[in-house]
Structure 1
Amino acid sequence: MNTAKTNNMTQKKLLIKRTLWLDGPNIWTYRSCIEALVDIQDLEQFPSNLLPGFYERLTALLPGLVDHECGIGEPGGFLIRLRDGTYAAHILEHITIELHLLAGLNAGFGKARETSVSGVYKMVFRTPDRFVGMACLEAAVRLIHACIEDTPYDLKAELKVIQRVCDMKGLGPSTQHIVDAAYDRRIPFIRLNDGNLVQIGYGEKQQRIWTAETSKTSAIAEGIASDKQLCKDLLSQIGIPVPEGREVDSADEAWEAAQDIGVPVVVKPTDANHGRGVSLELSKEQDIREAYALADEVGSGVLVEKFIAGHEHRLLIINNQMVAATRGELVFVTGDGKSTLLELVESQLNSDPQRGWEEYCPLDPVDFGYDPTALYEVRRQGFEPESVVPAGHKVLVQRNSNASEDVTDIVHPEIARLCTLAAKVIGLDIAGVDLMCEHIDQPPQGQAFAIVEVNAGPGLLMHIKPSKGTPRNVGAPIIESLFPQGETGRIPIITYTGGPELSDFGPQLCAMLEDKGHNVGLACEHGLWVNGKAVHHHDAANWESGRNALVNNKLNTLIMQVRQSTILSEGLPFDRNTVAVVTHLGQLDGLQEWDIVNHEKLFNVTRTVIDLVLPTGYAVLNADEVSLLPLQELCDGKVVWISTNPDNPVVREHVGNGGIAVVLHEHAVQFLGNRAEQEERKPIPLDHADENPIKQLALAACGWVCDVPHHLLRAELRKQP
Structure 2
Amino acid sequence: MLGLDICGIDICTEDISKPIIHNNGIVMEVNAAPGLRMHLSPSEGAARDLGKEIVNMLYNNNPYNIPVISITGTNGKTTVTRVISHTLSKMGYCVGMTSTSGIYINDECIDSGDDTGFESAKSILINKDVDVAVLETARGGMIKKGLAYDLADVSVITNITQDHLGIDGINTMEELCYVKSLVGEAVKEDGYVVLNADDYWSKSILNRIKANIILFSKDSNNPLLKQNKLSNICVYLENKNIVVVNEGKKHTICNIDEVPITLGGKLMFNVENILATCGALVGLKIDYCMIKNGITSYLLNSDKNAGRFNCYNVNGVNVILDYGHNIDGYNAVLSAVKYINKGKLYGIVGIPGDRSDDMALEIGKISSHHLDYIIVKEDKDLRGRKQGEIAQLIVDGVKKRDTKKKYEVVLREEEALIKALNISQKGDTIVMFFEDMAPLVNIINEFSIYKDENSYIDKSISN
Partner Cα separation in structure 2 for residue 598 and residue 406 of structure 1: 69
1:713 aligns with 2:291: yes
Partner Cα separation in structure 1 for residue 33 and residue 75 of structure 2: 58
Query: How far has the Cα of 1:608 moved from its partner?
Result: 1.0
Query: How far has the Cα of 1:709 moved from its partner?
Result: 2.6
| Residue in 2 that maps onto 1:459 | 36
Q: How does 1:548-587 map to 2 (within 5 A)?
A: 548-585=123-160, 587=162
Query: How far has the Cα of 1:470 moved from its partner?
Result: 4.7
Partner Cα separation in structure 2 for residue 611 and residue 583 of structure 1: 15
Partner Cα separation in structure 1 for residue 51 and residue 166 of structure 2: 42
Query: How far has the Cα of 1:708 moved from its partner?
Result: 2.8
Name the SS of the counterpart of 1:682 in structure 2.
Answer: strand
Does the 8 Å contact 1:669/1:686 carry over to 2?
yes
1:134-177 deviation line (CA, Å, top 9, x unaligned): xxxxxxxxxxxxxxxxxxxxxxxxxxxxxxxxxxxxxxxxxxxx
Q: Residue type matched to 1:469 in 2?
A: G
1:190-248 deviation line (CA, Å, top 9, x unaligned): xxxxxxxxxxxxxxxxxxxxxxxxxxx46xx9xxxxxxxxxxxxxxxxxxxxxxxxxxx
Partner Cα separation in structure 1 for residue 48 and residue 183 of structure 2: 36
Does the 8 Å contact 2:14/2:25 carry over to 1?
no
Name the SS of the counterpart of 2:17 in structure 1.
Answer: helix
Please point out which of 462, 465, 468 is paired with 2:44: 468
Partner Cα separation in structure 1 for residue 162 and residue 114 of structure 2: 19
1:247-306 deviation line (CA, Å, top 9, x unaligned): xxxxxxxxxxxxxxxxxxxxxxxxxxxxxxxxxxxxxxxxxxxxxxxxxxxxxxxxxxxx
Normalised to the residue count of structure 1, the TM-score between the two structures is: 0.37
Q: Residue type matched to 2:17 in 1?
A: D
Does the 8 Å contact 1:610/1:635 carry over to 2?
yes
Does the 8 Å contact 1:325/1:411 carry over to 2?
no
Does the 8 Å contact 1:618/1:638 carry over to 2?
yes
Q: How does 1:89-168 map to 2 (within 5 A)?
A: none
Does the 8 Å contact 1:326/1:407 carry over to 2?
no
Does the 8 Å contact 1:531/1:555 carry over to 2?
no
Does the 8 Å contact 1:526/1:540 carry over to 2?
yes
Name the SS of the counterpart of 1:702 in structure 2.
Answer: helix
Partner Cα separation in structure 2 for residue 685 and residue 643 of structure 1: 15
Partner Cα separation in structure 2 for residue 407 and residue 570 of structure 1: 51
Please point out which of 658, 675, 684 is paired with 2:254: 684
1:651 aligns with 2:225: yes
Q: How does 1:389-408 map to 2 (within 5 A)?
A: none
Q: Residue type matched to 1:665 in 2?
A: E
Q: Residue type matched to 1:459 in 2?
A: L
Please point out which of 619, 626, 650 is paired with 2:193: 619
| Residue in 2 that maps onto 1:251 | none
Does the 8 Å contact 1:325/1:463 carry over to 2?
no
Query: How far has the Cα of 1:467 moved from its partner?
Result: 3.6
Residues 484/626 of structure 1: CA separation in 2 closer, same or farther (3 Å cut): same
| Residue in 2 that maps onto 1:704 | 282
Query: How far has the Cα of 1:613 moved from its partner?
Result: 0.6
Please point out which of 636, 646, 659 is paired with 2:210: 636
Query: How far has the Cα of 1:466 moved from its partner?
Result: 3.5
Please point out which of 21, 26, 33 is paired with 1:443: 26
1:602-659 deviation line (CA, Å, top 9, x unaligned): 2221111111111121100001112122433333321100011111111111113x21
1:519 aligns with 2:81: no
Query: How far has the Cα of 1:450 moved from its partner?
Result: 4.8
1:609 aligns with 2:183: yes
Residues 321/412 of structure 1: CA separation in 2 closer, same or farther (3 Å cut): farther
Q: Residue type matched to 1:685 in 2?
A: N
Normalised to the residue count of structure 2, the TM-score between the two structures is: 0.56
Does the 8 Å contact 2:236/2:243 carry over to 1?
yes
Name the SS of the counterpart of 2:203 in structure 1.
Answer: helix
Residues 412/636 of structure 1: CA separation in 2 closer, same or farther (3 Å cut): farther
Cα RMSD (Å): 3.2
| Residue in 2 that maps onto 1:261 | none
Q: Which stretches in structure 1 are left out of the alignment for 5+ residues?
A: 1-216, 222-317, 328-404, 415-438
| Residue in 2 that maps onto 1:662 | 235
Query: How far has the Cα of 1:675 moved from its partner?
Result: 5.3
1:106-136 deviation line (CA, Å, top 9, x unaligned): xxxxxxxxxxxxxxxxxxxxxxxxxxxxxxx
Partner Cα separation in structure 2 for residue 581 and residue 406 of structure 1: 60
Q: Residue type matched to 1:613 in 2?
A: V
Query: How far has the Cα of 1:512 moved from its partner?
Result: 0.5
Q: Which stretches in structure 2 are left out of the alignment for 5+ residues?
A: 258-263, 301-463
1:672 aligns with 2:255: no
Residues 515/326 of structure 1: CA separation in 2 closer, same or farther (3 Å cut): same
| Residue in 2 that maps onto 1:495 | 70
Partner Cα separation in structure 2 for residue 715 and residue 469 of structure 1: 61
Name the SS of the counterpart of 2:205 in structure 1.
Answer: helix
Residues 473/716 of structure 1: CA separation in 2 closer, same or farther (3 Å cut): closer
| Residue in 2 that maps onto 1:279 | none
Residues 709/683 of structure 1: CA separation in 2 closer, same or farther (3 Å cut): closer
Residues 477/598 of structure 1: CA separation in 2 closer, same or farther (3 Å cut): same
Name the SS of the counterpart of 1:500 in structure 2.
Answer: coil
Does the 8 Å contact 1:494/1:560 carry over to 2?
yes
Name the SS of the counterpart of 2:148 in structure 1.
Answer: coil
Does the 8 Å contact 1:642/1:663 carry over to 2?
yes
| Residue in 1 that maps onto 2:84 | 509
Residues 573/325 of structure 1: CA separation in 2 closer, same or farther (3 Å cut): farther
Partner Cα separation in structure 2 for residue 325 and residue 605 of structure 1: 55
Partner Cα separation in structure 2 for residue 708 and residue 406 of structure 1: 59
Aligned residues: 291
Name the SS of the counterpart of 2:70 in structure 1.
Answer: strand
Partner Cα separation in structure 2 for residue 597 and residue 406 of structure 1: 69
Query: How far has the Cα of 1:320 moved from its partner?
Result: 3.6
| Residue in 2 that maps onto 1:541 | 116
1:451-498 deviation line (CA, Å, top 9, x unaligned): 5x6546x435x435544335545355334313427x551211111111
Name the SS of the counterpart of 1:546 in structure 2.
Answer: helix
Query: How far has the Cα of 1:548 moved from its partner?
Result: 1.1
1:516-562 deviation line (CA, Å, top 9, x unaligned): 12110011001111133221222211212211111111111000101
| Residue in 2 that maps onto 1:431 | none
| Residue in 2 that maps onto 1:255 | none
Partner Cα separation in structure 1 for residue 241 and residue 291 of structure 2: 13
Name the SS of the counterpart of 1:574 in structure 2.
Answer: coil
1:529 aligns with 2:104: yes
1:481 aligns with 2:57: yes
Does the 8 Å contact 1:497/1:581 carry over to 2?
yes
1:436-463 deviation line (CA, Å, top 9, x unaligned): xxx9x6234xxxx455x6546x435x43
Partner Cα separation in structure 2 for residue 413 and residue 672 of structure 1: 65
> Is the radius of gyration larger for structure 1 or structure 2?
1
Does the 8 Å contact 2:192/2:212 carry over to 1?
yes
Q: Residue type matched to 2:164 in 1?
A: D
Query: How far has the Cα of 1:714 moved from its partner?
Result: 1.9
Partner Cα separation in structure 1 for residue 74 and residue 105 of structure 2: 24
Partner Cα separation in structure 2 for residue 539 and residue 588 of structure 1: 17
